[in-house]
Copies of this chain bind each other. A is one copy, B any other.
Amino acid sequence: MAKEIPKILKGFRDYLPQQQLARKKVITKISEVFERFGFSPLDTPALEYYELLGGKYGEEGEQLMYKFEDQGGRKVALRYDLTVPLARVFATYPDLPKPFKRYQIANVWRADKPQKGRYRELIQCDVDIIGTDSIIADAEVIAAMAAAYKTLEVGTFLVKFNDRKLVDSVLTKLKVSKEDIVSFMRTVDKLDKIGERKVQETLLQQGFEKDILSKYSKLMDDSSKKYVEEMQNLLSGLGVEQMMFDKYLMRGLDYYTGVVFEFVLLEKPEFGSVGGGGRYDNLIEQTTGMATPAVGGSIGLDRLLAALEELDVISPQTAAEVIVFNLDKNLTPEYLNILTNLRNAGLDAEFYYEPAKLDKQFKYAEAKNTQVAVIMGSNEAKKRKVNLKNLKEKQQITVDLDDLITEVKSMLW
């Protein structure tokens, strides 16, 4: 009796070859851009002490974190983001050159409720600069991410930014207390989702003055001019094309202390934010006891890939460029020789292992999206000839075995 096929865990995904090839390409491009901006790669363990991660991500994080006891009785957890492990790394290696500019592209795990576009294992692409409070560092993080989106051809996109310090000083001027500032920010941050009227209502319910929003708006407009101009100049200077100051952008994470920003795709606004970040000058101290300014951002790869797919930017990927068909067991040495020559010429080439019927071999090649088939029976072999079939254009030519590489290459490019 057939066994039941074992299942993948809910909220997790397999990446089959075509998807994984596309994902690999995107990851490679992002890495290259981050390196172009002077960020170096870092890798950290999937597991950390729970003591490190616990209490850093609010109530939600506490619930969604995968945590357990390991064989040695240690309380451990799967990493929930790449920022807290970065803080640990920064504290562990005091000799790192400062400011420390690193990028990390790696999985994080969150036991989120599975729903469309939400997964329990997700790749984050993070850039961070630790050890400087320069506003140029803020602009560099944004610019590096913008350059990544540009390279990926996501269409026109916009970075919205705000500054928590500005928000803080404006609200303080309006005599809003420290605790109320936090609830004000949380409510206003929902403006995009729930609309202005609902925000007004919520603020009233929370005990704010009736006209707090318009007062905030006016005072922010007056207070932000110099900051906005400086940031826009820096961003333009670093190659960012479209940016917008958004006084209502707050971002959820409590730990931001300065700039906050978010990227949106103007052709796919329904995807919401495809990346964002901000300055977090207190987090490193909270984690490690070392007071250190820091700024960083993160590209959510999964949402971005979904958008790229809808934008038709991701073309079907080919695994093997060339397949050598198997027509005759006795020709195995000749086939292997062809195969090895193709590979030595830098081509991705595979062999059909059994001398099966030709249409079965064609079907296999088509399923794998292969571009060229090398077809040689004993007649051709005797004459040192070989047939090349372009599987996309369905054209076949016969060439001298000695010209094989040149001919295949001209078919591919």
Contacts and interface: CB of A to CB of B under 8 A. Distances in A.
B42 A20 contact: yes
User: Which 8 pairs between the two chains have the least Cβ-Cβ distance?
Assistant: A38-B350, A3-B289, A68-B68, A237-B336, A17-B40, A134-B353, A12-B45, A40-B319
A15 B43 contact: yes
Given A20-B41, A289-B3, A340 B88 contact: no
Contact of A47 (B12, B289, B323): B12
Given A20-B43, A91-B5, A92-B8, A336 B238 contact: yes
A288 interface: yes
A412 to B, nearest CB: 14
9 contacts: A5-B88, A5-B92, A15-B43, A16-B42, A23-B43, A38-B323, A38-B351, A46-B121, A237-B337
Interface string A1-13: 1111111111011
A107 interface: yes
A351 to B, nearest CB: 7
Contacts of A46: 46, 78, 107, 109, 121
Interface of A: 1-10, 12-17, 20-21, 23-24, 31, 35-49, 51-52, 63-64, 66, 68-72, 74, 76, 78, 88-89, 91-93, 96-99, 101-102, 107, 109, 111, 120-121, 129, 132, 134, 136-137, 140, 147, 233-234, 237-239, 287-290, 319-320, 323, 332-333, 336-337, 339-340, 343-344, 346-351, 353-354, 364, 367-368
| Residue in A43, A109, A340, A354 with the greatest tally of chain B CB atoms within 10 Å | A43
Contacts of A9: 45, 47-49, 70, 74, 76
A239 B344 contact: yes
A96 B16 contact: yes
Contacts of A66: 47, 68, 70-71
A319 B8 CA distance: 38
B288 A47 contact: no
